[in-house]
Structure 1
Amino acid sequence: MEETIKSTVQPNKQQLLNRLKRIEGQVRGVHQMVENDRYCVDILHQVSAIQSAMNKVSLALLEDHTHHCVSKAIKENKGEEAINELMDVMKTMTK
């Protein structure tokens, strides 16, 4: 079975990229903390901050997808497929 590649213009692309750059910097910081044998609890606090930031990115993407892609699909009578796809993503995100 051949997989179809879907794409879209991200309405908040620059905001997402800025958040991801900050997260990338945080991950590099954790890497250095591990290399420098920093206290485990301090590292864990930073990991928690990274996870929280990634959750915010996921929710922002989910919101954009719902407002734009799913909404458009519903208007084009393709809503059932879009909703099923959205629910599959939600199931993956909440594991």
Structure 2
Amino acid sequence: MSEPSPAGPHGYSADKQALMARLRRVEGQIRGLQRMVDEDTYCIDILTQISAAKSALHAVAVGLLEDHLRHCVVHAATEGDVEPKIKEASAAIARLVKS
């Protein structure tokens, strides 16, 4: 896990409660998937719910990436050391696209 930015709290800090709520919903979806498997639910219905959970988690990731760009990258640009943050964001985008 990376260290806090020198600018103070991370970019997502202002919306932390909303972020936590979204993650709790994803957690609920995963628990629902476990129940579906336990109850021998039809395969296609489980796959549909997996897709929904992946989409919800992807939306959280995109939101965090946007916050990173707005907060961490902008702060680095004002400090004159933006290149490492650009590389970091590019790597994160590559991981998101690959998944």
Same fold (TM over 0.5): yes
Partner of 2:60: 57
Superposition TM-score, scaled by structure 2 size: 0.87
Distance in 1 (alpha carbons) for counterparts of 2:78 and 2:3 = 18
Identical aligned residues as a percent: 42
Runs of 4 or more, structure 1, over 4 Å off, are none
Superposition TM-score, scaled by structure 1 size: 0.91
What is the CA distance between 1:54 and its match in structure 2? Answer: 0.5
**Secondary structure of the structure 2 residue equivalent to 1:37:** coil
Structure 1 residue 11 corresponds to structure 2 residue 8: no
Aligned counterparts, 1:1-95, within 5 A: 5-7=2-4, 8-9=9-10, 10-95=13-98
RMSD over aligned Cα, in angstroms? Answer: 1.3
What is the CA distance between 1:94 and its match in structure 2? Answer: 1.0
**Structure 2 segments unaligned to the other structure (5+ residues):** none
How many matched pairs?
92
